[in-house]
Amino acid sequence: MDDADPWDGLAVPAGLCRYCEHPSLNRTRRGVTYMRCTRAGWDERIPRYPGLPVAECVGFEPRTGS
């Protein structure tokens, strides 16, 4: 269903990442949803694919907007 919340497609809850500016959700053609941290591209403290759920993160920035 296209209007489903994409976060619900993750196998485990994302934790802090869900409320952060930096996650990128992707869904494979096989229907598997995974989350990548875009901040990891320039912040070497953070893994590109953090273990979920994330409880604490040095790069967390609250998401703004809707």
> Scanning residues 14 to 53, which ones bind ligand SF4 (CB under 6 A)?
16-17, 20, 22-23, 37, 39, 46, 50
56 binds ligand SF4, rule: CB under 6 A: no
Could you tell me which of 48, 46, 49 has the C-alpha nearest to residue 57?
46
Residue with tokens 């901040």: 39
Smallest gap from residue 22 Cβ to ligand SF4 (A)? 4
Query: Beta-carbon neighbour count of residue 57 at 10 Å?
Result: 18
Maximum C-alpha span of the chain:
36
Footprint of ligand SF4 (CB under 6 A): 16-17, 20, 22-23, 37, 39, 46, 50, 54, 57, 59-60
